[in-house]
Chains A and B, each alone.
Chain A
């Protein structure tokens, strides 16, 4: 086992996984929030756009999205982000992970928004706040708090889903695992080590989420 760690850049691969996860989490949060706002907006067209986005990305397998990004967008349509294939695959992976999980972030947020009593929105409007103001100052802050538990689940799923990027050749954890298995043969201890790496990455997030949701819970 020590020999394997010496011969392969496992740390580099895990670092790549973390980069993928962090960048995609940021992307998913930003896009997801925007889509959630669209879905609760009073304008039917915007609601329609939001619903279509969620239904499209939530119901498409991530593997299909990944392969489509390189095989479809990059190869057939020529939408190459970077000249170098490895960089190109990495950035497409970030985009697809962001879009896919944005759908889940949106739904988590929307469930959070639904925990805010209608009276809050009505009160905000009745004291003269605009839609934007009541959303940013009253509804969203409370809904983020209510959405912490499902959001954390989404981020944990995102971290594990970064392994799907291996199908387009991103050199992250699952990619190096494939390389090691090819050269050294498959072994249970090795798989367990990689499983453990993911536990180490996701467990703190779960603990943090539990603490946060307890601390920030809206007292009603």
Chain B
């Protein structure tokens, strides 16, 4: 009986500690917790599984895309508590927008002509480029040309994987469903490099468990313009979002978000950043 009571007390303490931990971590995300809901709800689609860009841990969202989305939402009149985050995996982004399940998508969404046929874009708010992630002690790999005969990993069907397969056919390419598996392969020395947008790679390199173990080569060989996806034809919304991005870059919040999310990886955004958002059409 006594042991059971002690167990119950222990469990209660653990739960209390857990709650306290949750509370303090949401306070840590800045003034977001202090803001009151305005009641103007907004649904934003983003990635839930990309460290440094859009990552969901428990109920807390973090990353560069999250910071940009939160800023833009605020300019549109919705504070942080009004935002409903919706997971937007790559294959569903167009459908989510056209069916109205989300109001905007901020999810490493590259602006391409093909996608412009289906959705509208505001931005770019960031210019990324395809790069290589290698182990920190790697010396041989300096760019895609030095990858011939080496083992490379990327995500099945992704643009970076296709580009490598087309341009550098001599590369031994392993494909997985997510980058986490590739990074696991890189750490265990089964592959020599992981390739995708430098932002995503920097996000992984900045994670606590990989700090100092991985590095981004820093020689981009493509240009990806990240835009905020909107429903096609909504020019008014597009204009507002573009204004918000401009303001974010001007008042320093953009740079702050870059430093906060990619700083630990010693990653510097490629030339051209911060970008100038294109006019809405």
Contacts and interface: CB of A to CB of B under 8 A. Distances in A.
Partners in one complex: yes
B146 interface: no
Interface string B116-138: 01110000000000000000000
Interface stretch (A70-78, A95-103, A114-122): A70-78
A166 B92 CA distance: 17
B114 interface: yes
A111 to B, nearest CB: 34
Contacts of A89: 174-175
Nearest to B153: A85
Given A76-B188, A76-B190, A178-B156, A183 B114 contact: yes
Nearest to A75: B190
Interface stretch (A32-40, A53-61, A137-145, A167-175): A167-175
B157 A181 contact: yes
Given A67-B181, A184-B114, A185-B118, A85 B156 contact: no
Interface in A153-186: 166-169, 175-186
A86 B119 CA distance: 34
Contacts of B184: 71, 75
Most buried by A among B90, B156, B184, B185: B156
B91 interface: yes
A168 B151 contact: no
B157 A179 contact: yes
Given A85-B174, A166-B156, A185-B115, A74 B94 contact: no
Interface string A73-112: 0111000000111100100000000000000000000000
Contacts of A85: 151, 172-175
B158 interface: yes
B157 A186 contact: no
Interface magnitude class on chain B? 20 to 34
A87 to B, nearest CB: 10
A168 B177 CA distance: 7
Contacts of A70: 174, 176
Contacts of B151: 85
Contact of A186 (B91, B175, B177, B191): B91
Interface in A169-219: 169, 175-188
B190 A74 contact: yes
A182 B91 CA distance: 6
Interface in A8-52: none
Interface in B92-123: 92-95, 114-115, 117-119
A169 B164 CA distance: 14
A85 B115 CA distance: 31
Interface in B166-205: 172-177, 181, 184-185, 188, 190-191
Contacts of B177: 166-167
A15 to B, nearest CB: 18
Contacts of A67: 176, 181
* Residue of B95, B115, B172, B175 with highest tally of chain A CB at under 10 A: B175
A181 B91 contact: yes
Nearest to A85: B174
Contact of A175 (B93, B156, B172): B156
B156 A185 contact: no
Contacts of A168: 175-176
Given A85-B151, A167-B176, A71 B115 contact: no
Contact of B157 (A74, A86, A182): A182
B93 A186 contact: yes
28 contacts: A67-B181, A70-B176, A71-B176, A74-B190, A75-B188, A75-B191, A76-B188, A76-B190, A86-B173, A166-B177, A169-B174, A169-B175, A175-B175, A177-B157, A178-B156, A179-B157, A180-B157, A181-B157, A182-B90, A182-B91, A182-B158, A182-B162, A183-B162, A185-B93, A185-B114, A185-B117, A186-B92, A186-B94
Top 10 A-B pairs, shortest CB-CB distance: A169-B175, A178-B157, A75-B190, A179-B157, A85-B174, A167-B177, A185-B94, A181-B91, A186-B91, A185-B118
Interface of A: 67, 70-71, 74-76, 83-86, 89, 166-169, 175-188
Given A85-B151, A175-B157, A181-B90, 5 more contacts: A84-B172, A178-B157, A186-B94, A186-B95, A187-B94
